[in-house]
Every structure is written in structure tokens, then in C-alpha cells.
Structure 1
Amino acid sequence: MGCFSILKTTMFVFNGVIFLGGLAVLGIGIWMKLDSSSFAKILDKAVPQLPQLPHVAYLCIALGAFLLLVGFLGCCGAMRESKCLLVVFFVVMLILFIVEVSGAVVVLAFSAVADIFVDHLKQWALKTLKEGYGRQDDITGIWNTTMNELKCCGFHNYTDFSNSFFYQEHANKYPAFCCPANEECPESDIDKNKQGCLHKFQVFLSRNGKIVGGVYLGIGALEAAAMIVSMTLYCQIGTNL
């Protein structure tokens, strides 16, 4: 009985946290939907270069509702000792676990085509830097955010802007991100030590890849533990009466 009570409490606390998290996310989504003007102002101040995201509210509402459902199933299934709710909770966790494992397998299976992806990314990046940067607001905003956050210049380096639309329209000067004084400058004043965004992104991935993988494994372990606990409770219900 002592072990059974501990499992019930663990299940309740674990899913209670999920329930409260879902409630918070749902509340944020509803607030974003009802008071979109205030949210837009906050988003604009926090990330001025990032285009507005009109569907974020719906995403938060959907995610919050899903977390609420999962938390409710787990909490009620444990405390009411309902086999039906525990089975539904187990199935939901199993589906999530299978989706995550499938995603990991797909990523590993297609890692061999990474070079092809980089080639396509390179073509897109150089095209947008040459033709769209300084001309199209969305392209300019994306690149400004990228170069500002990664502290980089161009895709490979500053030469990606040579003879570009921006270069010609700004009296043969390069963007401020490529210059030491954060002001548009000619090639003679370029910060030659400023690396391209591709290199910076690769460094970022190498430094944070293990963290992302650890978080991914941690989530999978929690889901597996939740399934084990839910099935243990399911099997114990009826034998502890």
C-alpha cells in the first residue's frame, strides 16, 4: 500500500505541474487573442526586427489545451484510480513518445543529405543578400536579426554584399553589422575579423547540440517514466482494495 500511495502521489504531482503549465500557456494564448494590440507592442519592443506572428495565439491555445488534457487525465486517473483514464493517458504518452522517436530516426537517417541542404541554403542566402537585402523589408528584417544575434556578417563574410542592391544603393558601403563602429562603411574600413553567419551557426550548433540532445532525451525519459507509472497503477488498481 505504501508503494502504491507513493506512485499515486508521484503521478498526481507530475501531472499537476503539466496541468498548471498548460493553464499558463492557455491563459497567455487567450490574452494574446483578446488583447493582440498590447501583445504586438510587447513583441515589437522585445524583438523589433521579428515580423509579427499572427498565429502564435492559436498555437498557445492549442498547446495549452493539450497540456491541460494530459494533466487532467493523469491527475484524475491517479487520484480516482480510474483504469479508463490511466489507459487514455498511457496511449497519449505512447503516441508522443513514438512521434519523438520517429523524428529522431528521420533526422539520423537523413543526416547524409545535410550537404545538399547546405547547398540549397547557400543559394537562397546569397540570392537574398544580393537582391533582397535593403529592398524587401521581410528579407532585410530576417538578416538583420540573424546578424545581430549571431554577431556575424553575410553568409560567408562581408564579400557576400559586394555589388549587391544594398551596396549600390548606399554608395558602395557595407551594412553596419560588418563594420567596427556599427555604421555603414566602405571596404577599407571593414572588420575583417567578423565571421559569416554560416560559421557562427555551425559553432552555435556544436556548442548547444549536446544540450538540445540532452533535453530531448530528458523529455523522452519523463514520458517513458510516466507510461511506466500509469501502467503500474493500472495493474495495481483492484489488488489494493
Structure 2
Amino acid sequence: MAERHIPYYSLKKLFSFFNGVTVLSGMILIGLSIYVNFRGAVLTKVLGRSSAYLFHVGYLCLVMGSVTVLLGFARWHGAAKESRGTLLFCFLVMVIILIVQITAATVVLAFFPVVREVALEHNFVTLRKNYRGYKEPDDYSMRWNLVMEKLKCCGVKNYTDFSGSSFERVTGHTYPRCCCKSPGTVDCDGHNVSADVIHQEGCFPKLLKITKTQSANLSGGCLGTAVMQLPGILATLLLFIKLG
């Protein structure tokens, strides 16, 4: 029985389809990066270095997504011009991107337990030492004020984190105004710790939940787009061989 070969025009159609899927995967990576870096991760900045990997991997996804989209157009051009050099270059770069995506997903999954174990005590100590108060101009206080207002919580563990802190020694208050459910009321005086006045629960569990969600989104996005790109990479290799 004679060996059957895929017709060249069918291979080009298959290549075009999978290349479109690859470009879509690049756009997904770009969207994922924007979502992670400019939404939930804005709040998790208060965790410091413990959550910095989210930003690093997020920006890495932005770069990989942009390169993937550009390579998609380059591969279409290479296929149209039947340029083996262009196809080979795109194939090699896409293989590198694929490896980086899988590595990034692994790193994200590996770092989350570190955040859970290390960040709590570190942020508790740092908050007691560096937090200055409500509407203070320093970056650290502004970030924590934003977190406590947005997440409706107080302190790292709970509202008692401010007892004996530098904030209490300077202001004489046992909690900042952003811990209050209604900051503009008379009851929000820095001393009334009633559950009707302040948010008594700490912010760390909520920050940890956001970090977990962002980690899952990043790792899942990287692995998912890697799967989407694999057929396109193989189609590029097949077309390169066919043109040889």
C-alpha cells in the first residue's frame, strides 16, 4: 500500500487554524497578566516579597503573550512566503515559550505554600513597626489603609494587632479609622472596639484567599495556553519539514 501524504494545501489550512489558536493563547496570556497585576495583586502588595512572585510571573505572562501574538503573524508570513528560516525561528522561540510557561506555572504553585507559612508573622511584625495611621502619606500605610477599607478587615490577625504598636504609641488609638465600618461616625474614636463599630477580623485570611486565587489563575492560565500552543508548534514543524 502506497504511503499516504497529507496534501500541502490541507497542511497549510491546518497550520492556519492552529496558528490562530496560538495567537488566541497569546491574547489570553496578555489578559491574564493585566487581570493579575492590576486587580487582586494590587491589594496583596502589602504582603511584600511574599507575594512579589505574582507580579513577576504576571509581567512574564505579558511578555510571553505579546511575543506569542507577534510570532503568530510571523508564522503566517513565513507560511505565505514559504520561508523555512522564518518557520524554524518561530518554532524554536515557541518551544522556549512553552518551556517557560510550564516552569512559571510550577513556580507559582510552589511559592504559594511559602506565602501561607512565612507571610503571616512577617507582616504582623512589620505592621506593628511601620504602620503610621489613616491618611498618612507613606506608601506602606496607604497600602494597608486601602486593604482594610476594601476588604473590610482590621490588622493582619485582628484588630488587636495595633495594641502596643508604633501607631498606638504615636496616636494613642488602639486601631486606625479605616478599621471602622463607618469611619465618619463619632463612635469611630480609636477606642471603641465593639463589633458594631469596627471590623474585628484580620486581613490576612482574605489576602491569602486572593493570593490563592491569583496563583491558581496564573498557573492554570500558563498550563492552559501551553496546551493551546502545542498543536501550533507541531504544525509549524510539519510545515517546515514539508517545505524542505
**TM-score normalised according to structure 2 size:** 0.64
Once the two structures are superposed, residues 186-219 of structure 1 have per-residue CA deviations (whole angstroms, 9 ceiling, x without a partner) of 3433436542121112333455654444322211
Moved segments of 4+, more than 6 Å? none
2:76, 2:234 → 1: CA distance?
A: 15
Change (3 A) 1:131 1:16: closer
1:225, 1:150 → 2: CA distance?
A: 42
Query: Could you tell which deviates more after superposition, 86-95 or 210-219?
Result: 210-219
Residue 177 in 1 paired to residue 184 in 2?
no
**Structure 1 residues not aligned, in runs of 5+:** 26-42, 51-58
Residue 225 in 1 paired to residue 231 in 2?
yes
1:110, 1:13 → 2: CA distance?
A: 33
Local SS of the residue matching 1:153: coil
Q: Which has the higher contact order (CA 8 A, sep 6+)?
A: 2
**TM-score normalised according to structure 1 size:** 0.64
1:167, 1:198 → 2: CA distance?
A: 20
Cα pair 2:152 2:181 within 8 Å, conserved: no
1:7 matched residue in structure 2: 14
Q: How does 1:3-82 map to 2 (within 5 A)?
A: 3-11=10-18, 13-14=20-21, 63=63, 66=67, 69-82=70-83
Count of aligned residue pairs for this structure pair: 202
1:53 matched residue in structure 2: none
Change (3 A) 1:147 1:75: farther
Residue 186 in 1 paired to residue 187 in 2?
no
Q: How does 1:70-149 map to 2 (within 5 A)?
A: 70-106=71-107, 117-118=118-119, 122-134=121-133, 137-149=138-150
CA RMSD of aligned residues (A): 3.8
2:161 matched residue in structure 1: 160
Q: Report % sequence identity.
A: 28
Change (3 A) 1:99 1:69: same
Change (3 A) 1:231 1:76: same
2:112, 2:166 → 1: CA distance?
A: 35
Once the two structures are superposed, residues 78-117 of structure 1 have per-residue CA deviations (whole angstroms, 9 ceiling, x without a partner) of 2222221111111111111212223344455667755653
Query: Could you tell which deviates more after superposition, 10-19 or 184-193?
Result: 10-19
